[in-house]
């Protein structure tokens, strides 16, 4: 594992960044396109996750390994269940083999899918034999992963009968379900989303003239950078009227001294992010609908000296790593004593210790690397291990960080 030294230099007053395209929208659009009788050419996010998704969709092999791409694992489980006459073993990384998938498998089996566990019960790898699914009614726990629900939604139009998904228990990441529904409607499918029920009509996808928007999750690292530097950052093509739930973080960041102005003129189209006065002395935040922003806020607020309680994080232990434990471990290296409560809450009461400044471990998690990187502006130098993990969603992140006057070099 390589270690890299980040060193902060002179921060420019204004910087312009071109964000990667949305990974979440890309993976959904790619799957719907594969289900369409007339697939279109789609310019998708150029990152590991979307590349893995596309490669699997185009594969005729009987063994497909999607590595660490969690979204692809969920979506492709549903997709391969519909490929009549085709049998495939769907596998992933060692971490992926520890991420539960039984709620989705059980729901698909209810709809007629032929899926077996090729390893440990309840986890990948899966042996899937595609067939025509019957549709009808299915229940699923909505408090584990919204991706399970989106996966069922997207294959709904291919079934023999209209699909009704009944959502049981408390719901998380609801904006991602709304994103899936919006895309399906845009591509010609009848979708009705109620509080605890989703209805999908039978039909065929029709995809044309579709452009994927920039990634709002990626934008949050530049909001964090503005908070730490006071610079103004322009984010090209970032949309206010977005399909992405993480776009709501713009309002949340305003509480912590970061303002967003959307501009569309002959010179620039996108968002200008700049510093403003902040009054927040302690933060109480529920990120249940935006869990991908948790690392950004957890790190940023510590760096700003704003104690916090962040709730709605029940999905974080089952992400690329256990993100709650990872945040606690790595923030301690910077001198911040963070605690975990109830498996879904992160708390920092302002407690500090002497920093060790050991290299920040990234745990093969792209968001750990990007969320911690802006700490270099506070401490002037920062060591991070395995910075290449950003290729999962934002391959050009370090090039963009260099525009902020940061130099990056390998030291071990």
Residues annotated as catalytic are 292
In whole angstroms, give the CA distance from residue 409 to residue 157.
50
Phi-psi region of 263 (alpha: psi -120 to 50; beta: other; left: phi over 0): beta
Query: Which of these, 294, 392, 403, lies nearest to 53 by C-alpha position?
Result: 392
Structure tokens at 213: 């928007």
CB-based burial label for 37 (10 Å; 0-12, 13-18, 19+): exposed
Task: Please choose, from the candidates 354, 341, 268, the residue with its C-alpha nearest in 3D space to the C-alpha of residue 311.
Answer: 341
- Angle, CA 404 vertex, CA 399 and CA 409 arms, to 5°: 55
Indicate the DSSP class of residue 360. Answer: B
Distance of alpha carbon 275 from the chain centroid: 26
Structure tokens at 358: 């050991």
Q: Which of 187, 163, 188, 192 is nearest to 177 (CA)?
A: 192
Phi, psi of 224 (to 5 degrees): -60, -40
Closest by Cα among 176, 180, 181, 136 to 159: 136
**DSSP secondary structure, 22-74, as one string:** PHHHHHHHHHHHHHSSS--------SHHHHHHHHHHH---SEEE-TT-HHHHH
Question: Contact at 8 Å (CB) between 385 and 362?
Answer: yes
Decide if 84 contacts 132 (C-beta within 8 A).
Answer: yes
């Amino acid at each position: 594992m390589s270690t890299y030294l980040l060193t902060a230099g002179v921060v420019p007053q204004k910087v312009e960044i071109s964000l990667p395209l949305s990974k979440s929208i890309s993976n959904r659009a790619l799957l719907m396109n594969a289900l369409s009788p007339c697939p279109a050419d789609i310019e998708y996010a150029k990152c590991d996750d979307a590349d893995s998704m596309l490669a699997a969709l185009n594969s005729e092999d009987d063994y497909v390994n999607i590595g660490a791409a969690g979204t692809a694992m969920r979506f492709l489980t549903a997709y391969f269940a519909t490929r009549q006459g085709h049998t495939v073993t769907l596998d992933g990384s060692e971490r992926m083999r520890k991420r539960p998938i039984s709620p989705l498998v059980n729901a698909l089996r209810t709809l007629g899918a032929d899926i077996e566990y090729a390893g440990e019960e309840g986890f990948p790898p899966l042996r899937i034999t595609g067939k025509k699914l019957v549709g009808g009614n299915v229940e699923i726990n909505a408090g584990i992963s919204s991706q399970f629900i989106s996966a069922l939604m997207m294959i709904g139009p291919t079934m023999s009968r209209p699909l009704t998904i009944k959502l049981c228990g408390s719901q998380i990441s609801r904006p991602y379900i709304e994103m899936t529904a919006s895309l399906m409607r845009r591509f010609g499918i009848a979708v009705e989303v109620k509080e605890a029920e989703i209805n999908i009509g039978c039909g065929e996808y029709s995809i044309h003239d579709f452009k994927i928007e920039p990634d709002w999750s990626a934008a949050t690292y530049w909001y964090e950078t503005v908070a730490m530097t006071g610079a103004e950052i322009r984010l090209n093509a970032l949309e206010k009227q977005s399909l992405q739930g993480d776009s709501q973080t713009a309002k949340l960041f305003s509480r912590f001294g970061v303002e967003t102005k959307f501009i569309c003129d002959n010179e620039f189209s996108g968002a200008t992010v700049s510093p403003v006065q902040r009054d927040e002395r302690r933060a109480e935040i529920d990120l249940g609908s935006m869990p991908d922003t948790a690392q950004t806020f957890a790190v940023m607020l510590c760096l700003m000296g704003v104690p916090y309680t962040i709730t709605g994080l029940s999905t974080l232990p089952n992400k690329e790593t256990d993100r709650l434990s990872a945040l606690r471990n790595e923030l301690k290296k910077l001198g911040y004593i963070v605690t975990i409560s109830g498996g879904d809450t992160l708390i920092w009461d302002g407690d500090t210790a002497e920093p060790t400044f050991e290299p920040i471990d990234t745990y093969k998690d792209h968001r750990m690397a990007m969320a911690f990187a802006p700490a270099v502006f506070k401490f002037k130098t920062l060591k991070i291990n395995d910075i290449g993990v950003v290729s999962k969603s934002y391959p050009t992140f370090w090039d963009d960080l260099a525009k902020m006057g940061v130099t990056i070099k390998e030291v071990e």
